[in-house]
């Protein structure tokens, strides 16, 4: 299954940013068990490349492990070497997009305007990351989707339990969840069962994965 189809099915991407190395494995396990198999490990995290490699080997086809905060080509290369299945950046850099495409990976660059969305697609991106989505609001997505209906948008930044559904209803393909899901207090206190339950709450809001709705 192509990575964008995985996003369409599950809708939620968990963003693991600077999770302590001794807690990252348990946090990832809780997220996957909670129903969120798409994990983005930000490359500014300690041990990011090692986590990507380890989780690829451990979870196989049960999870999809990508790299985030790809700020330059060198970081993209490091992520690819670690086995990342997709690359996400907070900005649009055509060189990163083209590098990912050459290596057979989806790259979802950060964009803010319709012009950047079109530039990203021309460079080879199959989807764009709208960041910071919370500052723009779901109405912005509805407006953009008028002329750019076919652009797959992954909304990230400022999305939480109370507004996630509004972004999905506005037409986004997926949602990136950072601090609203990866609650630092829960992780610091090793409350992984609570983290798993929080993941389940987001999954419930997102609805059953497409293809599973008749089950």
In the chain the domains, ranked by start, together with CATH numbers, are: 3-205 (3.20.20.70)
Q: What is the pLDDT of residue 1?
A: 74
Beta strands in the chain (DSSP E): 12-16, 38-42, 64-68, 86-88, 106-108, 110-111, 128-130, 153-156, 174-177
Distance CA 19, CA 117 (A): 30
Q: Supply the pTM of this predicted model.
A: 0.94
Is the pLDDT at 213 greater than 50, yes or no?
no
Q: Which residues are catalytic?
A: 40, 129
The length of the chain, given as a count of residues: 215
Query: What are 126's two structure tokens?
Result: 């199959």
Residue 85 C-alpha from the chain's centroid: 11
Is the pLDDT at 111 greater than 50, yes or no?
yes
150-192 pLDDT per residue, tens: 999 999 999 999 999 999 999 999 999 999 999 999 999 999 9
């Amino acid at each position: 299954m192509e990575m964008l189809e995985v996003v369409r099915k599950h809708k939620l991407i968990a963003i693991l940013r600077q999770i302590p190395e001794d807690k990252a494995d348990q946090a990832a396990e809780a997220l996957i068990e909670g129903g969120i198999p798409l994990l983005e490990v930000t490359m500014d995290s300690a041990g990011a490349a090692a986590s990507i490699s380890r989780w690829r080997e451990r979870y196989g086809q049960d999870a999809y492990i990508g790299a985030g905060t790809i700020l330059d080509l060198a970081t993209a290369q490091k992520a690819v070497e670690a086995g990342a299945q997709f690359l996400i950046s907070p900005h649009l850099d055509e060189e990163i997009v083209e590098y990912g495409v050459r290596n057979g990976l989806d790259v979802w660059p950060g964009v803010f305007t319709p012009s950047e969305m079109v530039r990203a697609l021309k460079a080879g991106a199959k989807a764009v990351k709208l960041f910071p989505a919370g500052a723009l609001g779901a109405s912005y997505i509805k407006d953009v989707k008028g002329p750019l209906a076919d652009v797959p948008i992954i909304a990230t930044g400022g999305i939480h339990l109370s507004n996630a559904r509004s972004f999905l209803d506005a037409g986004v393909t997926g949602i990136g969840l950072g601090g609203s899901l990866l609650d630092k207090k829960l992780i610091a206190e090793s409350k992984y069962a609570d983290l798993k339950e929080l993941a389940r709450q987001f999954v419930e809001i997102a609805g059953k994965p497409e293809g599973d709705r008749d089950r």
